[in-house]
């Protein structure tokens, strides 16, 4: 049995013993109360005095609060009635009355009773209460995925033993550079003595950096799987406990556990939740700071001859505390970036391994249509396609399933019940063809893959999908301008054909403005500002938001410059469409009829008018194929 299982079982056993003990105790307690209740009966003091007068009482026991009465018939009868008692009213004559009527009496030693009551009320009950609350909160915490409070202060890092991790580097596709830099760590873990004997200090930590869903967690596990060592993992947010000091205690536990299991890997996911730079905000969080300090101390403190490697993952490396990044801590950075075309093909292959694929499946085309998608998206696409195949009663996945899955993931599920009025539909059709036509007629734009006017749940009434033929890392000013023109093509078509300004272009406008802004502020593409940086990008791996770095006056000038770019693009787009009004009309009518048309159909219309474009596109496609073959 694996270590993790036994640990969990042990924990469970302990919990059950405690719970059973508490339950037994409570049952006994309740039982004794009810027993008391069933076998005793209160009488009034008057009645009690009457009973004495009538010589019915054999003996009494007097305690500070009550008087227990034993009746004569009870002492002679075998079957006893209920024990009678009455409140002690501190009657000063009681003793003389009792002596007169010959009733035997004695007093309960009251001190004893007090102590027991006291202990019961103030010690035992609170303890029981505490345990009950802890137990239930632990349960709730576990349900919410948090740390159970039963293990208060004990770190709940899951411990996987060697045979638990089956993930290897083969399961991680498209991250060759990251794998290369992690290979060294695997070697350290397996041959620690080789390094220590020469006097080299083992590396302590590496930071996996990249956008969400690119496979950071997967890589960390694969390292453990490749090195065949235990993998202790905990998420940074787990550290931030509800009681101060607990996070720090957890860090300590985690490292203790690791020393026992060395060689091993400690993996701290979402490390930014504790490792946030301490001076970055006005409001400080003591708990997080303590946890961070403990982590720093532990990373310095653990025995460097023991092969323990701390891996951490984050998508916000900028906000990490500098102290975490200095040599001896997380000094190595492994970039886990969005996969390129080849990477995406490989990831699709990995995830479709266990899926039955039809003959027509072309993963390359799918990879091409998903630029920017991360591993998690691609895994999702393959699964979505398999689900769709089942829904259509097939036993294997076909290309159309994958295509549809891409659109589901990228554009939201196809929604057939959203009805557009015929006029709206016309406008949408011309709008989309406007985009597509501008893309087809301009040089250096991505070819049109698909145009559709089937509304999607994510809000788009239709869309034009362009596929880049190759991964691009450098984009020229001309290409950016063309991109803006394509974005403005939708609205321009509406204007040309219907003389109408509709709300349908809001997203296009936003994107076009953003591109124009980057041209001015980041890429230095205007004469006015030359190569001056006016914005800097923060959170590169999250939203990539740009932050202004210039005066308010300059900011006004920037806006003017952006407007100039957009205005020029808008004018030339309208002109281009005006000159090709015949194409715009013809293709839009065709789209209205078909609702969805693919790139090749669309291009036939364009080639009819401009046969010379056919050669240009062919050449492009050939180049692209060459790139892919490499
Ligand atoms: P991250 O930790 O970077 O947010 P994960 O490692 O949790 O991302 O990835 C989530 C899932 O996405 C993985 O379980 C895997 O199925 C898939 N995935 C992500 N990246 C890759 C990749 N490079 N190769 C294969 N699968 C991947
Ligand atoms: Mg993760
Ligand atoms: Zn549009």
439-455 residue pLDDT tens: 999 988 888 988 988 77
60 close to ligand 1 (CB < 6 Angstrom): no
How would you label 412-434 residue by residue, b for 16+ Cβ within 10 Å and e otherwise? eeeeeeeebeeeebbbbbbbbbb
311 close to ligand 1 (CB < 6 Angstrom): no
Q: Is residue 595 assigned to a domain?
A: yes
pLDDT in tens, 40-50: 778 888 888 88
- Domain count across the chain: 5
- 322 close to 278: Cβ distance less than 8 angstroms: no
Read off the CATH number of the domain in which 430 is found: 1.20.58.760
432 is catalytic: yes
Q: Decide: residue 308, CB within 10 A, 0-12 exposed, 13-18 middle, 19+ buried.
A: buried
pLDDT at 401: 93
216 close to ligand 1 (CB < 6 Angstrom): yes
Claim to verify: residue 384 and residue 431 sit in the same structural domain: no
- 268 close to 226: Cβ distance less than 8 angstroms: no
pLDDT at 486: 95
pLDDT at 240: 61
Q: Give the distance (Å) from ligand 3 centre to CA of residue 500.
A: 14
Q: Is residue 416 assigned to a domain?
A: no
Claim to verify: residue 315 and residue 385 sit in the same structural domain: no
Q: What is the DSSP string of 239-292?
A: HS-SSTTHHHHHHHHHHHHHHHH-SEEEEEETTHHHHB-TTS-SS--HHHHHHH
pLDDT at 412: 64
Compute φ and ψ for 304, nearest 5 degrees. -80, -5
Q: Is residue 152 assigned to a domain?
A: no
Claim to verify: residue 513 and residue 530 sit in the same structural domain: yes
Q: Which two tokens stand for residue 394?
A: 């097939």
pLDDT at 112: 55
Claim to verify: residue 525 and residue 406 sit in the same structural domain: no
* CA dihedral for 421, 423, 426, 428, sign (positive or negative): negative
Give the integer Cα–Cα distance in Å for 100 and 94.
Answer: 10
Claim to verify: residue 46 and residue 181 sit in the same structural domain: no
Q: Decide: residue 282, CB within 10 A, 0-12 exposed, 13-18 middle, 19+ buried.
A: exposed
User: What's the alpha-carbon Rg for the chain, to the nearest Å?
Assistant: 39
Claim to verify: residue 241 and residue 201 sit in the same structural domain: yes
| pLDDT greater at residue 537 or residue 80 | 537
Q: Which of these, 73, 80, 51, 68, lies nearest to 106 by C-alpha position? A: 68
Give the integer Cα–Cα distance in Å for 375 and 338.
Answer: 8
Domain with 239 in it:
158-335
**Which residue ranges make up the annotated binding site?**
210-217, 431, 435, 508
Residue range 385-410: mean pLDDT, rounded = 90
258 close to ligand 1 (CB < 6 Angstrom): no
Residue range 431-436: mean pLDDT, rounded = 95
Last residue of a domain, one of 283, 317, 335: 335
- Of 111-120, 336-345, 547-556, where does the model show the most confidence? 547-556
Ligand nearest to the CA of 174: 1
Q: Which two tokens stand for residue 524?
A: 């230095």
Residue 279 has pLDDT above 60, yes or no: no
Q: Give the distance (Å) from ligand 1 centre to CA of residue 624.
A: 28
Q: How high does pLDDT run on average in the chain? A: 80
214 close to ligand 1 (CB < 6 Angstrom): yes
Ligand nearest to the CA of 428: 3
Claim to verify: residue 94 and residue 210 sit in the same structural domain: no
Give the integer Cα–Cα distance in Å for 609 and 440.
Answer: 12
Q: Give the distance (Å) from ligand 3 centre to CA of residue 459.
A: 12
Q: Which of 176, 218, 273, 342 is the best mutation target for the ligand 1 pocket, counting ligand atoms within 8 Å of the beta carbon and taking the most?
A: 218
Beta bridge partners, 208, equal 313, 334
Residue of 404, 432, 469, 561 marked catalytic: 432
Claim to verify: residue 279 and residue 349 sit in the same structural domain: no
**Which residue ranges make up the annotated binding site for Zn(2+)?**
431, 435, 508
Q: Is residue 504 assigned to a domain?
A: yes
Q: Give the distance (Å) from ligand 2 centre to CA of residue 217.
A: 4
Q: What is the 3-state secondary structure (H, E, C) of 576-610?
A: HHHHCHHHHHHHHHHHHHHCEEEHHHHHHHHHHHC
Which positions ≥6 away from 498 have C-beta within 8 Å? 427, 430
347 close to ligand 1 (CB < 6 Angstrom): yes
Q: Give the distance (Å) from ligand 3 centre to CA of residue 591.
A: 15
Q: Which bin fits 393, alpha (ψ -120 to 50), beta or left (φ > 0)?
A: left
Q: Which two tokens stand for residue 474?
A: 């450098």
Residue 268 has pLDDT above 60, yes or no: yes
Least trusted range by pLDDT, from 28-37, 59-68, 212-221, 468-477: 28-37
In the three-class reduction of DSSP (H, G, I as helix; E, B as strand; rest coil), residue 615 is classed as helix
Atom of ligand 1 nearest to the CA of 171: 25
Ligand nearest to the CA of 235: 2
Claim to verify: residue 169 and residue 138 sit in the same structural domain: no
- 559 close to 545: Cβ distance less than 8 angstroms: no
Claim to verify: residue 466 and residue 535 sit in the same structural domain: yes
Atom of ligand 1 nearest to the CA of 210: 3
Atom of ligand 1 nearest to the CA of 346: 24
343 close to ligand 1 (CB < 6 Angstrom): no
335 close to ligand 1 (CB < 6 Angstrom): no
Q: Give the distance (Å) from ligand 3 centre to CA of residue 279.
A: 44
Residue 458 has pLDDT above 80, yes or no: no
Q: Which of 165, 315, 353, 379 is the best mutation target for the ligand 1 pocket, counting ligand atoms within 8 Å of the beta carbon and taking the most?
A: 379
| Position 148 confidence tier, pLDDT thresholds 50, 70, 90 | very low
Residue bearing the CA closest to ligand 1, atom 12: 376
What predicted TM-score, i.e. pTM, was given to this entire model? 0.62
Atom of ligand 1 nearest to the CA of 218: 6
Claim to verify: residue 23 and residue 63 sit in the same structural domain: no
Q: Is residue 283 assigned to a domain?
A: yes
Q: Is residue 165 assigned to a domain?
A: yes
Last residue of a domain, one of 297, 316, 335: 335
Q: Is residue 539 assigned to a domain?
A: yes
């Amino acid at each position: 049995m694996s270590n993790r299982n036994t640990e969990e079982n042990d924990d469970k056993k302990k919990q059950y013993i405690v719970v059973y003990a508490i339950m037994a105790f409570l049952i006994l307690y309740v039982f004794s109360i009810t027993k008391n209740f069933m076998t005793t009966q209160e009488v009034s003091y008057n009645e009690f005095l009457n009973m004495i007068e009538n010589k019915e009482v054999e003996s009494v026991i007097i305690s500070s609060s009550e008087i227990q009465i034993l009746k004569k018939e009870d002492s002679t009868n075998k079957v006893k009635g209920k024990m009678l008692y009455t409140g002690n009213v501190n009657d000063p004559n009681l003793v003389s009355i009792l002596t007169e009527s010959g009733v035997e009496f004695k007093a309960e030693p009251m001190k004893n009773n007090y102590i027991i009551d006291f202990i019961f009320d103030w010690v035992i009950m609170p303890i029981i209460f505490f345990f009950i609350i802890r137990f239930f909160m632990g349960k709730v915490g576990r349900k919410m995925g948090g740390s159970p409070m039963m293990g208060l202060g004990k770190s709940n890092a899951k411990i996987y033993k060697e045979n638990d991790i089956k993930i290897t580097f083969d399961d991680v596709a498209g991250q060759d550079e990251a794998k290369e830099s992690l290979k060294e760590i695997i070697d350290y873990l397996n041959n620690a003595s080789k390094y220590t004997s020469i006097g080299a200090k083992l590396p302590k930590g590496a930071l996996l950096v990249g956008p969400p869903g690119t496979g950071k967690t997967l890589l960390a596990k694969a390292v453990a799987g490749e090195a065949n060592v235990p993998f202790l993992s905990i998420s940074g947010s787990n550290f931030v406990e509800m009681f101060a000091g607990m996070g720090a205690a957890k860090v300590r536990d985690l490292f203790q556990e690791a020393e026992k299991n060395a060689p091993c890997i400690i993996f701290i996911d979402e490390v930014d939740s504790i490792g946030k730079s301490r001076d970055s905000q006005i409001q400080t969080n003591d708990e997080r700071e303590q946890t961070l300090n403990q982590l720093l101390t532990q990373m310095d403190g653990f025995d460097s001859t023991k092969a323990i490697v701390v891996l951490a993952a984050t998508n916000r490396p900028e906000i990490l505390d500098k102290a975490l990044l200095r040599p001896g801590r997380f000094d190595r950075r492994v970039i886990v970036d969005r996969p390129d075309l080849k990477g995406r093909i490989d990831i699709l292959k990995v995830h479709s391994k266990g899926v039955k694929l039809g003959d027509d499946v072309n993963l390359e085309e799918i990879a091409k249509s998903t630029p920017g998608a991360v591993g998690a998206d691609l895994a999702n696409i393959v699964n979505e396609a398999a689900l769709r195949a089942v829904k259509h009663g097939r036993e294997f996945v076909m290309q159309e399933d994958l295509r549809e899955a891409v659109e589901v993931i990228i554009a939201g599920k196809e929604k057939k019940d959203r009805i557009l009025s015929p006029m709206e539909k016309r406008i949408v059709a011309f709008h989309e063809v406007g985009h597509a036509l501008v893309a087809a007629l301009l040089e250096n734009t991505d070819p049109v893959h698909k145009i559709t006017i089937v509304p999607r749940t994510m809000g788009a009434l239709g869309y034009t999908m362009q596929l880049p033929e190759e991964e691009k890392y450098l984009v020229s000013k001309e290409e950016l301008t063309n991109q803006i023109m394509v974005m403005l093509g939708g609205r321009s078509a509406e204007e040309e054909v219907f003389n109408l300004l509709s709300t349908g272009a809001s997203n296009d406008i936003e994107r076009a403005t953003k591109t124009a802004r980057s041209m001015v502020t980041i890429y230095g593409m205007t004469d006015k500002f030359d190569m001056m940086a006016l914005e800097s990008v923060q959170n590169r791996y999250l939203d990539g938001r740009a932050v202004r770095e210039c005066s308010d006056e300059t900011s006004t000038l920037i806006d003017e410059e952006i407007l100039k770019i957009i205005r020029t693009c808008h004018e030339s787009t309208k002109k281009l469409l005006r000159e090709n009004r015949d194409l715009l009309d013809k293709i839009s009518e065709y789209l209205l009829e078909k609702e969805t048309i693919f790139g090749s159909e669309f291009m036939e219309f364009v080639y009819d008018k401009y046969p010379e474009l056919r050669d240009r596109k062919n050449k492009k496609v050939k180049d692209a194929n060459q790139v892919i073959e490499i």
